[in-house]
Amino acid sequence: MTAGTILIAALSYAQLMLALAACMAGWRTLRGPRAQDRVLGLDTLYVTTMLLFVVTGMRIGTPFFFEAAMVIGVLAFAATVALAKFLLRGEVIE
Residue 49 lies in a domain: yes
Tens digits of pLDDT across the chain (94 residues): 899 899 999 999 999 999 999 999 999 999 989 988 999 999 999 999 999 999 999 999 999 999 999 999 999 999 988 888 888 887 767 6
Could you tell me the CATH number of the domain that includes residue 38? 1.10.287.3510
Residue 61 lies in a domain: yes
Residue 21 lies in a domain: yes
Counting the structural domains of the chain, the total is 1
Residue 9 lies in a domain: yes
Residue 52 lies in a domain: yes
> What's the pLDDT score for residue 85?
87
Residue 94 lies in a domain: no
In whole angstroms, give the CA distance from residue 89 to residue 73.
24
What is 9-22 written as a DSSP string?
HHHHHHHHHHHHHH
Domain region containing 57:
3-89
In whole angstroms, give the CA distance from residue 56 to residue 8.
11
Within the chain, what is the greatest distance between any pair of CA atoms?
60
